[in-house]
Amino acid sequence: MSDRIHSLSGYIHEYQRSVNQPEQFWSRIADSFHWQKRWDKVVDWDFEGPDVKWFLNAKLNITENIFERYLFTHGDHPAIIWEPNEPNESNQTITLRQLYEKVNQFSNAMKAKGVGKGDRVIIYMPMVPEAAVAMLACARIGAVHSVVFAGFSSNALADRINDCSAKMVLTADGNFRGAKSIPVKAVVDEALEKTSTVEKVIVFERTKEAVDMKAGRDIWWHDAIKGQSTECKAEVMDSEDLLFILYTSGSTGKPKGVVHTCGGYMVYTKYSFENVFQYEPGDVYWCTADVGWITGHSYIVYGPLLAGATTVMFEGVPTYPDAGRFWEVVEKYKVNQFYTAPTAIRALQAHGTEPVTKHDLSSLKVIGTVGEPINEEAWHWYHSHVGKMKCPVVDTWWQTETGGIMISPLAGVTPTKPSYATLPLPGVQLVIVDADGKELKGNSVEGNLCIKYPWPSMIRTTYGDHERCKQTYFSTYKGMYFTGDGVKRDEDGYYRILGRVDDVINVSGHRMGTAEVENAINEHPKVIESAVVGYPHEVKGQGIYAYVICDMENRTEENLTNEISETVRNIIGPIAKPDKIQIVPGLPKTRSGKIMRRILRKIAEGDTSNLGDTSTLLNPEVVEAIKEGAK
């Protein structure tokens, strides 16, 4: 049964219902799932705590809603189509029954190695079907997965392992990415030198490069599943038991572990998937994200599989072996819904239209974007050249913390407008507030985006530190969840996301805290102090600009900037490497010692004409020196 909305009036009706009678609304949607025990109450919430619970005391296993629910009727239906990095390596189509068996077998393998309900398991893997198998096997046995993007450094990986005291790590020998091969297992080995909780490491063989296998700790995936049964009873989970932890960057400190729970996440990801993409049985859906990000969790694995969809998993990158790869894959599998990031669109736009027009994209019905604001030019390029003016563009706004898509057109239902995420999904009650927390009512207003009522897939806590969750999301504006994004509601009531209003920057759709990058830079022994800001970047959306005060003894600027770059790479990973590093004699500070980032941002943007009043600074002379150096 599908709860798909088919018309604009249908959407308006459903939205009204979801606001007027949220409990009845969500109860009706949840009724179409398989629960081992029904809930006693739909929702219990308090944003002060915060304390949010959905489908109280219900029992379920999310994997039964992916497998058992469809197996009898759709066992031979392709669940995952896997496209490898190299176009001529053989691809894989995995039917629902095959996936079910792989998941059960791996569930049994993990159990045999001592993992059980509630244990934390780190998944640090390339984009192979086994990454999805690993996630689903954790869910099957009630273990809590925490996927770490396989581009993060050993330090970043160690931090995450330690934060959640993981018992097991699932990884691979290596990771093919375009023309490169990354030695993933070696990174895990390094990380494990800084951790003490991991008992076993299961290694999937992908690249066949030589790896060290530590006796007693490391096991090959193929050995681990040998002799294991393809039947594994699903663990009984409470609706509010943890499903997974996913680490994400905020404006302060180290990345925090966003916690999602079983019941609500299941209901919302399927509902939003079917409605936003208007998925119909038999369609082939492709999201190009990595499973290391929330988009990969909700809209490669859980949402599509809960909807009985065929989901494409792609191991490679958009420009390998050439800029036509995405379109080649769309043509090859006759993809109907395609979902990617603005940064990828802009990168491909730079290669012209030839790589697009070369391929038959007539299968496409819906094209989507996620991760950062999409500029109008990229929106039009995507709409015209990929969507041939006939496919609706769904610009989907959401966050790791929201678990699912919050603001987006429903394809073919909501009239679109370039650069607008348009309207909230049913159940999503948005509020725009000014700096003082006053609600800005009506249309044609601009301010900070908050949400005033809970939705099923919302963050429950930050792992091991509930206070941090409260401080970060529920304390800025009393009684509301604060998103960290600025937003405009235009004269038609349509929403346009303006970008982060906090110290989070968004580089190629990847979230990074400026403080996190500064801390990494400061690890270099010659660095005295640093300040990081974002600046507009043609392809990445935002680039990273670092101003650094250094001890220059025995070093040239070039040595130093290269070394600093390397330091950031080692501490966080290649995605956090600054695009520009400027060695400066000082940083502009207020008399109370606060860095004036506003000035640094302007200089990074190349707009030095209007720096405002700098006379109240502790050190106004430094601004001139920085301006000079930036030229």
Interface pick for ligand 6R9 out of 42, 144, 309, 497 (rule CB under 6 A): 497
Interface pick for ligand 6R9 out of 310, 311, 400, 561 (rule CB under 6 A): 400
- Could you give the CA distance from residue 109 to residue 250 in angstroms, rounded to a whole number? 36
Residues in the chain, total? 631
Interface pick for ligand 6R9 out of 326, 327, 382, 397 (rule CB under 6 A): 397
Interface pick for ligand 6R9 out of 372, 502, 503, 518 (rule CB under 6 A): 372
Q: Is 192 in the site for ligand 6R9 (CB under 6 A)?
A: no
Window contacting ligand 6R9 (CB under 6 A); options: 158-166, 323-331, 492-500, 521-529 = 492-500
Q: Are strands 144-147 and 120-124 parallel, antiparallel or unpaired?
A: parallel
- Could you give the CA distance from residue 282 to residue 336 in angstroms, rounded to a whole number? 10
- Could you give the CA distance from residue 407 to residue 424 in angstroms, rounded to a whole number? 4
Window contacting ligand 6R9 (CB under 6 A); options: 160-168, 303-311, 349-357, 398-406 = 398-406
CB of 268 to ligand 6R9, least distance (A): 13
Q: Which is nearer to ligand 6R9, 492 or 523 (CB)?
A: 492
- Could you give the CA distance from residue 229 to residue 227 in angstroms, rounded to a whole number? 6
Residue 220 forms beta bridges with which residues?
Answer: 203
- Could you give the CA distance from residue 531 to residue 545 in angstroms, rounded to a whole number? 8
Q: Which is nearer to ligand 6R9, 323 or 487 (CB)?
A: 487
Binders in 198-257 for ligand 6R9, by CB under 6 A: 248
If 0-12 CB within 10 Å is exposed, 13-18 middle and 19+ buried, where does residue 244 land? buried
Q: Is 395 in the site for ligand 6R9 (CB under 6 A)?
A: yes
Q: Are 69 and 60 contacting, i.e. CB atoms less than 8 angstroms apart?
A: no
Number of alpha carbons in the 13 Å side-chain half-sphere of residue 77: 19
Tokens 């405009």 correspond to what residue?
488
Window contacting ligand 6R9 (CB under 6 A); options: 96-104, 108-116, 394-402, 462-470 = 394-402
Helix (H, G, I), strand (E, B) or coil at 20: helix
Q: Is 371 in the site for ligand 6R9 (CB under 6 A)?
A: yes
- Could you give the CA distance from residue 624 to residue 432 in angstroms, rounded to a whole number? 38
Interface pick for ligand 6R9 out of 421, 428, 531, 564 (rule CB under 6 A): 421
Q: Which is nearer to ligand 6R9, 147 or 234 (CB)?
A: 147
Binders in 91-130 for ligand 6R9, by CB under 6 A: none
Residue 520 is which amino acid? A
**Joined tokens for residue 176:** 């093919």
CB of 609 to ligand 6R9, least distance (A): 28
**Joined tokens for residue 510:** 């990847």
Interface pick for ligand 6R9 out of 239, 396, 422, 514 (rule CB under 6 A): 396
561 phi, psi to nearest 5 deg: -65, -35
Interface pick for ligand 6R9 out of 506, 530, 542, 561 (rule CB under 6 A): 506
Q: Is 462 in the site for ligand 6R9 (CB under 6 A)?
A: no
Q: Are 245 and 257 contacting, i.e. CB atoms less than 8 angstroms apart?
A: yes
CB of 302 to ligand 6R9, least distance (A): 14
Q: Is 272 in the site for ligand 6R9 (CB under 6 A)?
A: no
Q: Is 370 in the site for ligand 6R9 (CB under 6 A)?
A: yes
Compute the radius of gyration of the chain from its Cα atoms: 24
Q: Are 83 and 313 contacting, i.e. CB atoms less than 8 angstroms apart?
A: yes
Residue 559 is which amino acid? N
Q: Are strands 284-287 and 310-314 parallel, antiparallel or unpaired?
A: parallel
Q: Is 264 in the site for ligand 6R9 (CB under 6 A)?
A: no
Residue 417 is which amino acid? K
Which residues, in sequence order, are CB contacts of 444 under 8 Å at separation 6+? 489, 490, 491
CB of 592 to ligand 6R9, least distance (A): 29
Binders in 509-538 for ligand 6R9, by CB under 6 A: 511
Window contacting ligand 6R9 (CB under 6 A); options: 201-209, 390-398, 431-439, 471-479 = 390-398
Site mask, ligand 6R9, residues 288-307, x = CB under 6 A?
A: -----xxx------------
List interacting residues with ligand 6R9 (CB under 6 A).
Answer: 248, 293-295, 370-373, 395-400, 421, 483-485, 497, 499-500, 506, 511
